[in-house]
Structure 1
Amino acid sequence: MSNIDFIYDWTKDGLRLQGIHWEEKTIGTCVLFIHGTSGNIVENYFAHTLGRELSNNGYGFFYGHNRGYSHINDIINNQGNHSRIGARYEKFSECLYDIDLWVNKIIELGYEKIIIMGHSLGANKTIYYNSKEQNQNIVGLILASPPDLVGLTKLKDQFRKEMINEARDNLKKNEPNKILSYLHEGWFEVSSETYLEFSIDGCAADNLPILRNPDRFEELDKIKVPILAFMGDTDEVNINSPEEDLLLLKTKATNCPDFQYKILDGANHNYIDKEKELSDLVVSWIKQAFK
């Protein structure tokens, strides 16, 4: 049975984040999990199941919270105050600080090989990080429910143009944290600056442009390690069908030495009641890809 430990540490820009480590160093490989919009370990049952299964098979698992955990949070900073962030206020580009913290922490813990797994928005962050940072310890990527963030705003935000114009006006008024009048995808309150960070063509988060489908997905094209991508057949982040979206990603990952993808039957975006199938898929892929 694995030893589970809470770890707290500071990002380079001065935020204290929390990570959860399922320890198992017999093989020297650890999966770093990057959660999606508003995620946190308390409400992510499939991550807990995955951590247990990885540990049982000799792999470490590290759930690294990023500054976008929960819809609103108050993170202590190195000035002795609290920074209000969460999914409502986070800046996508600052994910570099968060992921870098946990990559370095995992190396510090003694692991030699790291596989970064991003779920939903975390998949975009994973790709973004790997396009900016070249770390020889990162040997593979797992993309769980990888979305075209900009494309989804075009398809699902009925008032997208109004939201973009309002957000831009608020930034001109020096009110980047002002909440928009409309809900993103009809359910998610979001600040002006945050919305612009994932809704505009060419923004930092626009690295899986499935709807627009340019000749190259430039950041995905830079990845030179094996990739596993998967999605549920009842997922809500696909642009076309899950099969079509994942196949397109495979064709665009031209420098990836081995791109595998899978559709999980009956699985939704959060893999409810499919936690074991997800875990078995990940463990099996790791054993096959990194013999």
Structure 2
Amino acid sequence: MSELRHILVQADDGVLLPALWYVAGGTQVVIYVHGAGSSSIIRSPHMTDTFGRLCNQHGLDFIAFNNRGAGYMTKFDTVQGQSYMGGMAYEVIRDFVYDLSGVIKWAAQSGYESAVLVGHSTGANKIVYGLSSRATYALPVAGAVLLSGGDDVALQRSRYAADTREQIIQISKEKQRSSPHRLVPPEYFPGDHPISWRSLYELLSENGDYDMFPFKRAPYAKGQVIMPFRQLKSIQQPVLLAYGSEDFGTIIPVRQALGLVTGYVPSLDTYELMGADHNFTGFEKNIVQYIVAWIMKRCGDYPSAVAS
């Protein structure tokens, strides 16, 4: 029997995160992490509901929550009775660990034995950071599914001419000391949404916390001290990397991108859904069915492992 509940989950720093919890009475919970920009759990209702219902049909519980990067500018409540201004405009990836740790702690308190993480778009970047960091979590993480993880840094850097880009990076670096939370004037950021100086600096920084899928420059990185996909390679759990064949986020063709990343991380499982775009529009059931089958096959025996 499946039941949908609307709840609030507390991040480790007290931020309250709205969540949709699909309950089937299972011992393993699938935790869904949305991306950046206008993303949130209510902006992709068909994907969220498809995930929840198909997981429940196979005995898996499911929770999708608004992480602090939801929307462009989003005000969250906190347990301290204050407000926290989040959204993509103010987000940095390292803060996501508070969210992930809080949700996994909630899962442990709710009686689950293990969790599987599913991240879409920038949500995939966040999961890679969360699992490759030194953070410890209250439950074993049995596996991770990375959907449409894009070369976000290269995409953002492509907004600028080469000489202008280096100037903007230097300015944003200097702003980290004086006014990191101040919004960037439009003349310094050609995007169609607000962004703070600290978030812009992270978005433009190669080898930084955002830079988990450097497909554009990886072919030229052999022999470098800082290797591409090093965070992804450090993850010990089973990982599925999946894309629609028409995804723009890899910059290079998806099949080429998958071949490239598996050259660095041979242990990855990969999947390309032909005809699907970045958001799997019209292919939601197809991709979720594949993911649920992968979880049942690859993550079912992992709860006995040591917590991440």
TM over 0.5: yes
Q: Percent identity?
A: 25
Cα gap change, 1:284 to 1:184, in 2 (>3 Å): farther
Say if 1:185 and 1:288 are closer, same or farther in 2 by CA, change over 3 A: farther
SS of 2:215 mapped into structure 1: coil
**Residue 227 of structure 1 pairs with residue 239 of structure 2:** yes
Q: Deviations over 1:70-95 (max 9, x none)?
A: 11111112442212221111122101
Gaps of 5+ in 1: none
CA 1:24 to 1:185, structure 2 compared with 1: closer, same or farther past 3 Å? farther
d(CA) in 2 for partners of 1:157, 1:3: 48
Corresponding residue of 2:25: 25
Partner deviation per Cα, 1:1-51 (whole Å, 9 max, x = no partner) = 51111221322222111221111234x221111110032111112122111
1:264 partnered with 2:263: no
Aligned mates of 2:208, 2:165 — CA distance in 1: 15
Partner of residue 148, structure 2: 145
Q: 2:175·2:197 contact (CA, 8 Å) conserved in 1?
A: yes
Contact 2:180-2:196 within 8 A present in 1 as well:
no
Q: Answer whether contact 1:41 1:48 (CA < 8 A) is retained.
A: no
Is 2:216 aligned against 1:211? yes
Q: Which residue of 1 aligns with 2:9?
A: 9
- How far residue 162 of structure 1 moved from its aligned partner, in angstroms, is 4.6
- 1:156 Cα shift? 4.2
Structure 2: gaps (5+ residues): 301-308
For the residues of structure 1 that align with 2:177 and 2:236, how far apart are their CA atoms?
A: 40
C-alpha separation in 1, matches of 2:285 and 2:170: 44
Confirm whether residue 247 of structure 1 aligns to residue 259 of structure 2.
yes
Q: CA deviation at 1:161?
A: 3.4
**What does residue range 1-291 of structure 1 map to in structure 2 within 5 Å?**
1-26=1-26, 28-38=27-37, 39-44=39-44, 45-132=46-133, 133-135=135-137, 137-158=140-161, 160-174=165-179, 176-182=181-187, 186-213=191-218, 214-215=221-222, 216=227, 217-254=229-266, 256=267, 259-290=268-299
Distance (whole Å) between structure 2 residues aligned to residue 283 and residue 110 of structure 1: 21
TM-score normalized by structure 2?
0.85
TM-score (norm 1): 0.90
Deviations 1:261-280 (A, max 9, x none): 11112211111111111111
Preserved contact between residue 242 and residue 271 of structure 2 (Cα < 8 Å): yes
CA-CA distance at 1:126 after TM superposition: 0.2
Contact 2:153 2:205 in 1 (8 A): yes
Q: Which residue of 1 aligns with 2:305?
A: none
Q: Is the 8 A contact 1:11 1:101 kept in 2?
A: yes
Aligned pair count reads: 287
Contact 2:20 2:64 in 1 (8 A): yes
- Measured in 1, the distance between the counterparts of 2:6 and 2:265 equals 35
Pairwise CA RMSD:
2.2
